[in-house]
Amino acid sequence: MSRRPGAEGQGRGGKPPPRRRKPKPPPPPVPEFDRPPVLLVIAVVLTAGIEVLDMTIVNVAIPHMLGTFGATPDQITWVLTSYIVAAAVIMPLTGYLSNWLGRRRLLLLSISGFVLTSVACGMAWSLESMVFFRLAQGVFGAPLVPLSQAILLDAFPREKHGQALAIFGMGIMVAPVIGPALGGYLTEVYSWRMVFYINIPLGIIALLLSVGYLPQRAIKQIRTDWLGMGLLVIAVGALQFVLDQGQMRDWFNSKAIVVGTIITVFTTASFFLRGWNKPNNIIDLSLLKDRNFVAGTIAITLYGISLFGWMALMPLFTQRLLGYPADVAGTLFIPRAIVSAIALAVTGGLLIRIFDARWLVAGGIVFTAVGTLMMAHYNLNVDYWSIANPSMVSGVGTGLFFVPLTAVAFASIASAKYDEASGVYNLMRGIGGSAGIAVVSWLFVRQTHVHFAELTAHVTPFNKEILPYLAERGLDPYSPQAGPAIAYEIGRQAQMLAFNDMFWFIGIVTLAITPVLFFMTRPKNVDLVPAH
């Protein structure tokens, strides 16, 4: 039987067979650089720096916002809290968002959104609008630090990860220390709105450089674990609420704090129990099977308590107690920032290739603790350099601590997991910072009351120091101004003693990191962190 012309290749019933779709070409491989483009490195450091800078630069402007918005001290804290809570909720989702949107697209979206919301914060007309814009700023800013760290680790060969982390550390550890100085200058010379507008030029530069030099990565088809995401968001959000509001609400004497704590514990336990062996959990919990990563995460959390607790104390000490103007008080952070940057560069470029990374971390702990404990002997007559010098000692510790700790923590993490691991690592650093601010603020108020009560007990007619003190001010025990003058001086002395207590506390918390080092193992990849 002869076939009709054109019948070749037809299926049953004379229908042509379905055309096979050509497979899509695979995405271009992620390039590995012997020497990463300098402009890409600048873009990544700027990206991380503007996000971390925003956490501390705004603190200086808070008193000026009080008058602009007619808010109470309790209300104005939501300007800080809203940003921290939003960033904490989104940050652990960085790995998921990077797989879903693609790393390049997520980074460009985050930078653009961060710049636009910074403009909106600078233009805010009421407290409500400011809090809303700060929430949005926190959402867009959350992925910036984890993505920046992951991009640098990808761009540098493994044997040069120490250099990569030193460069990254200059943005992540130095920027928050510079923040108060820059914020104080902008607020005093221009306006508090400038602390937001400063993000515009920095963000635009980072965006343009990222567009030109950030390589494409494949977008994965993934199923969203909505229940896991919900549990994670609620757990982190509730925890941040408890940390941020606990001191102002008298902790567990507040029903809101009790409820927030219960929600935190329940949702956290549910998240881990449900997702431990679940392959498509919103966060890959197999990361927690890596001993070095877990130890490093615990250590960076405790160091966050130390660093951010100290940063919360210094403006109170220098401005409220010693009476320094905001811009002068801010300059006290600069020596520590400079020393930290130098120590980071030396550690990442040289020391990490010579010494066991765990010994470097131990050295960083000791230097940080010693510098802080030196501050525990301050008095009301302390001068500028007596404040700055111990800070520089602690700055050496910061430089020694960050690079080797992060190098060890990420030594055995697969590059495909960098985004996810960085999100968890930096989340815990942020939670440590929030805990440090909350606990130190609460203990400071408590210790001030304790010392005030103790000092007041010594105000008696038989105290020989009272009469000379009053005479120097042209007063006597029967003057109407005598009581307020004595109370004022006792208040200052009580605060000074409370500050000393807090510096002791921060130093001890820093030293408490040391046992974590015994759980770290020497990295298998000795090219990354040589140990002799």
Q: What is the pLDDT of residues 352-384, one digit of tens each?
A: 888 888 889 999 999 999 999 999 988 888 888
Greatest mean pLDDT among 209-218, 291-300, 311-320, 522-531 lies in 291-300
**Residues 186 and 270 placed together within one structural domain of the fold:** no
**Residues 193 and 54 placed together within one structural domain of the fold:** yes
> What is the extent of the structural domain holding 365?
288-532
Question: Is residue 411 in a domain?
Answer: yes
**Count of domains observed in the chain:** 3
Tokens of 514: 């040391």
Residues 6+ apart with CB under 8 A from 498: 444, 447, 448, 450, 451
Give the model confidence (pLDDT) of 387-422 as tens digits.
889 999 998 998 889 888 888 888 888 777 777 788
**Residues 229 and 217 placed together within one structural domain of the fold:** no
Rounded CA separation 434/240 (Å): 7
Greatest mean pLDDT among 158-162, 279-283, 311-315, 327-331 lies in 311-315
Residues 6+ apart with CB under 8 A from 437: 243, 308, 309, 312
**Residues 188 and 237 placed together within one structural domain of the fold:** no
pLDDT at 277 over 60: yes
Rounded CA separation 419/77 (Å): 31
The residue with tokens 């940057």 is 341
pLDDT at 26 over 80: no
Q: Which residue has the higher pLDDT, 31 or 102?
A: 102
**Residues 239 and 167 placed together within one structural domain of the fold:** no
Helix (H) or strand (E) segment spanning residue 285 = none
Give the model confidence (pLDDT) of 417-440 as tens digits.
777 788 788 888 888 887 888 888
CB 406 within 8 A of CB 296: yes
Question: Is residue 13 in a domain?
Answer: no
Q: Which residue has the higher pLDDT, 235 or 483?
A: 235
Helix (H) or strand (E) segment spanning residue 382 = none
The residue with tokens 């980071």 is 344
Question: Is residue 10 in a domain?
Answer: no
Residues 6+ apart with CB under 8 A from 18: none
CB 337 within 8 A of CB 394: no
**Residues 215 and 229 placed together within one structural domain of the fold:** no
Question: Is residue 5 in a domain?
Answer: no
**Residues 416 and 524 placed together within one structural domain of the fold:** yes
* Predicted local confidence at residue 252, as pLDDT: 80
CB 209 within 8 A of CB 40: yes
* Predicted local confidence at residue 3, as pLDDT: 47
Rounded CA separation 226/232 (Å): 10
Percentage with pLDDT > 70 across the chain: 80
* Predicted local confidence at residue 390, as pLDDT: 92
Quickly count: other Cβ atoms within 10 Å of residue 4's Cβ.
8
* Predicted local confidence at residue 25, as pLDDT: 52
**Residues 236 and 351 placed together within one structural domain of the fold:** no
**Residues 300 and 383 placed together within one structural domain of the fold:** yes
* Predicted local confidence at residue 215, as pLDDT: 63
Question: Is residue 12 in a domain?
Answer: no
Count of H helices and E strands in the chain?
22, 0
pLDDT at 30 over 50: no
Give the model confidence (pLDDT) of 461-487 as tens digits.
666 666 676 666 666 666 666 667 777
User: In whole numbers, what is the pLDDT of the chain averaged over residues?
Assistant: 78
- Dmax of the chain from CA atoms? 131
List phi, psi (to 5°) of 369: -65, -45
pLDDT at 527 over 60: no
User: Tell me, what CATH number does 418's domain have?
Assistant: 1.20.1250.20
**Residues 249 and 310 placed together within one structural domain of the fold:** no
